[in-house]
Amino acid sequence: HSQFAPHLAHHMATDESEESRRIRDDVLLLLMPIMNPDGHEIVVDWYREHLGTDYETTRPPEVYHQYVGHDINRDWFMFRQDETRVVAEQLYHEWLPQIVFNHHQTAPFPARIFIPPFADPVNPHIDPRVVRGVNLVGEHMSNRFAAEGMPGVVSGMAFTMWWNGGMRTAPYFHNQIGILSEVGHASPTPADHDPGDFPATFGRGSNIIPTLEPSIHYPDPWRGGRASIGQAVQYHLVSSLGTLDVAQKNKEDFLYNFYAMGRDAIRAGEAGGPFAYVVSLEDQHDAGEAVEMLNTLRRGGIEVERATSGFTAGGRSYPAGSYILRAGQAFRAHLLDMMEPHEHPHREIYPGGPPEPPYGGLAGYTLPFQMGVDFARVDQPFEVSSERVAWVDAPESRITGSGEVLLLSSMENRGFTALHRALGEGATVSRTAERFTVDGTDFAAGTLVVEGAAGSGGLEGVEEAAREHGLTVHRTTDRPAVSLRPVRAPRIATYQSYTVNMDEGWTRWLFNHYGIPFRTLYNQEIRAGDFDDVDVILFTGQSAQGILHGHQEGRMPPRFTGGVSEAGVAQLQEFVRGGGRLVALDDANDFLLEHFDVPVGNALEGLSNEEFYIPGSLLRLDVDPAHPVAFGMPAEAAAFFQSSRAFTVDGGGAEVVARYPAADLLLSGWEVGAQEHLAEQAAVVRVPYGAGDLVLIGFRPQFRAQPAGTFKLLFNALHGAAEGARAAAVERMTELEAR
């Protein structure tokens, strides 16, 4: 795609054919040559470095984006990355295009290109005119390929129209026709293919088709030969010219339908059911994340209003300053898809067979559930005096009381930002182990107690962070009369494998976003035990085999092969016995359970997809806020579960921090067998091991930086490590050396 884009620009600027003149007269083409230039550099540099070697066609051992690799294409309702924010501004605020075309690689082999129409299911919030428009553009492209004698064009496979997180799919919820193409052959190195070596069929799930026989979605099979980057560029070019041609020929229809879909969405919302969603910052567990959610919706083109006086809606009174999200707006489909629970249809690969996975493994992603935001759906129209806002400012900080002891709420994610400012500027910080009352105000367990000399930088840093992020701080004269745990800045290390792990990249982004210092550990350092300066090691979501073995020898340059190995396992065991902490997320827990003798098991081991299946969905989670790993959490949260883990616990001092409830587990998405196999099983467990411990979080509490409602489970797990025996021993040794 990065080679094709300037080719298309040159063609459209210089070609004098009748078609090009028509398109230039009637179509506005916004062409972004490349959305991820950092990733392009990484890929090109790796290829050039290994050109002419056995590793010429390998891929880089790092994510091809500063943080998230290919997940840059899965950030299109959350907009966490700079790249998606910039493009969303053009799509949903500035230009409002009728067609959005996203070029990718690679097509399912041996096809030369994948194009629409797409596969079922279709999200019920999408206007049917969008679906028809997608099919129209796809069929027009198909005809052009056939006319130009270019075989190997496949459609109707794998990619569905359900999820709202891709650059192709998010436009559907904005009345735009989202197009995806994926060309075959992803390397500058040519390759020759003998059709005798082709598999008999290709595809996925229920969409399996013959490789060499014509079929409805693959009427002109590619029968082998040479594949090259030039061929891939040409397929991209023809698909784009087909799209521009159909846009020109049907320009009035596309423009009118875009208007009509917005008009009808406004009318539907004004009729009610729902009429609006109301978000009051006064009712929030973490008001900062409520503001973040509102601004996430703003980035996606949703109109947000602020009440200028108190009002009543749905039988409930709201103060001035509450926020209203009216369903009567052009992008109503996006608003409803973000705010409403999802009910993904039950689909099987064949009748009575295993479930057919949704594209991308995503079935439910309701935004306020993920972010822990309280809101009210109001079905009937109501009157309110309000003003539209372009941006929602951080909530007003709540700094009360007087004195040189600061009490910082444990309920706000940004409290960890304030914590590190305080520690970095020399303040003394403790954490309460229980609930307490000061000056007539109740405080939860885990409240941070910040002390320092009058006018010290640490206290000023906390108040500065409070004003910036709208945090809750109470000043008092004396420290609370409850048990206090000293808090040190934890020395955090995250494991980074050479088998590319986007979950690790998202975690790095999250730490940087919240101002949490960390370092990265690679295989070589773990094998050598080179982590004396570390209190806690984090393994993000990754398979046990990927952690242990990594790339096989001969598949990559030698320094990128292998994993932590058995030698690394021994070093990690010694680290924990000596007082360190290991934290594992999702499937990385398999690695811990295999190599550490603890009284915890995988409650879901051995179950088939027919028995138990939960793709990316939101599940109800019962939490113990009195446990240090859950300080600041509400008693109930939403866990993002994507074929994740749950645990059995058999004594041995293991502590259950959170578990799945006995009933009503599914909040949003799709489940098979949850009640039978997941109910009442542990989701988060702390296990002592020698002088240290393990924290097992069976799901990904930081998945793509979306579920802010569970970030604190990760943050607490990491910060509690600095209170352990290893940190204390290192501190004593440092003091002795200083003497």
Which DSSP helix (H) or strand (E) runs through 101?
strand 99-105
Q: Which amino acid is at 285?
A: H
Q: Name the residue type at position 98.
A: Q
**Position 68 pLDDT exceeds 80:** yes
What's residue 621's pLDDT?
Answer: 98
Supply 403's token pair: 């004195």
- What is the rounded CA–CA span in Å between residue 507 and residue 23? 44
* Backbone conformation region of residue 404, classed left if phi is above 0, alpha if psi is from -120 to 50, else beta: alpha
DSSP secondary structure of 282-303: GG-SSHHHHHHHHHHHHHTT--
So what's the pLDDT on residue 283? 84
Residue 522 in this model has a pLDDT that exceeds 90:
yes
CB 432 within 8 A of CB 445: yes
Cβ-based neighbour number of residue 402 at 10 Å: 9
Cα torsion 16, 22, 23, 27 to 10°: value is 140
DSSP 92: I
474: left (phi over 0), alpha (psi -120 to 50) or beta: beta
375: closest CA among 262, 485, 429, 297? 297
Closest by Cα among 397, 491, 403, 492 to 449: 403
Q: How many CB atoms lie within 10 A of CB 677?
A: 17
Q: How many Å from the N-terminal Cα to the C-terminal Cα in the chain?
A: 62
| pLDDT for residue 722 | 64
According to the model, what pLDDT value does residue 393 have?
95
Measure CA 134 to chain center: 26
Interatomic CA distance for residues 363 and 230, integer angstroms: 37
Residue pLDDT, tens place only, 428-456: 999 999 999 999 999 999 999 999 865 56
Angle of CA points 198, 200, 201, to nearest 5°:
105
Nearest to 91 by CA among 7, 166, 11: 166
Report whether pLDDT(340) > 80.
yes
- Residue 206 — very low, low, confident or very high, per pLDDT cuts 50/70/90? confident
- With bands split at pLDDT 50, 70 and 90, how would you rate the model's confidence at 204? confident
For the record, the structure tokens of 611 come out as 């028995």
Alpha-carbon span 590 to 345, nearest angstrom = 30
pLDDT on residue 158: 84
C-beta of residue 601 within 8 angstroms of C-beta of residue 650 = yes
Mean of pLDDT values over 124-139 = 98
The pLDDT mean for the chain works out to 95
pLDDT band, residue 159 (cuts 50/70/90): very high
Question: Rounded to whole angstroms, how far apart are CA atoms 728 and 159?
Answer: 52
- Per-residue HEC secondary structure of 614-662 comes to CCEEEEEEEECCCCHHHCCCCCEEEEEECCCCCEEECCCCCEEEEECCC
Nearest CA-CA partner of 668 in 371, 298, 332: 371
Phi then psi for 311, rounded to 5 degrees? -155, 170
The reported pLDDT for the residue numbered 724 is 56
Estimate to the nearest angstrom the gap between the alpha carbon of 534 and the chain centroid: 27
Q: What are the tokens at 562?
A: 């292998």
Angle formed by the axes of helices 502-514 and 711-719, nearest 10°: 80
pLDDT in tens, 257-300: 999 999 999 999 999 999 999 999 998 999 999 999 999 999 99
User: Which residues 6+ apart lie within 8 Å of 622 measured at CB?
Assistant: 635, 636, 658, 659, 660, 661
What's the chain's length in residues? Answer: 739
> What does the pLDDT average to over 384-412?
94
Q: Residue 8 is encoded by which pair of tokens?
A: 């298309």
Q: How many CB atoms lie within 10 A of CB 21?
A: 11
A 10 A CB-CB count for 453 gives 12
Query: What's the confidence (pLDDT) of residue 728?
Result: 57
Q: How are beta strands 225-227 and 191-193 bridged, if at all?
A: antiparallel
Distance, CA of 327 to CA of 375 (rounded, Å): 14
**Is pLDDT at 612 greater than 60 in this prediction?**
yes
Distance, in Å, from the CA atom of 320 to the CA atom of 32, rounded to the nearest integer, reads 42
What would the pLDDT profile of 672-700 be if each residue is shown by its tens digit? 999 999 999 999 999 999 999 999 999 99
H and E: helices and strands count for the chain:
20, 37
Dist CA 73 CA 129 (whole Å)? 24
Measured distance CA(480)–CA(446) in Å, rounded: 12
The whole-angstrom separation of Cα 513 and Cα 372 is: 18
Run of H or E including 577: helix 565-577
What integer is the mean pLDDT of 186-207?
94
pLDDT digits (tens, 9 = 90+) for 213-254: 999 999 999 999 999 999 999 999 999 999 999 999 999 999
Using alpha carbons, select from 316, 320, 367, 360 the residue that is nearest to residue 340. 367
pLDDT more than 90, % of the chain: 93
Which two three-digit tokens encode residue 656? 């259950």
Separation CA 118–CA 490 (nearest Å)? 48
Q: What percent of the chain has pLDDT over 70?
A: 97
Rounded Cα distance between 180 and 693, Å, is 47
Contact 624, 720 (CB under 8 A): no
Residue 423 CA to residue 418 CA, distance in Å, equals 9
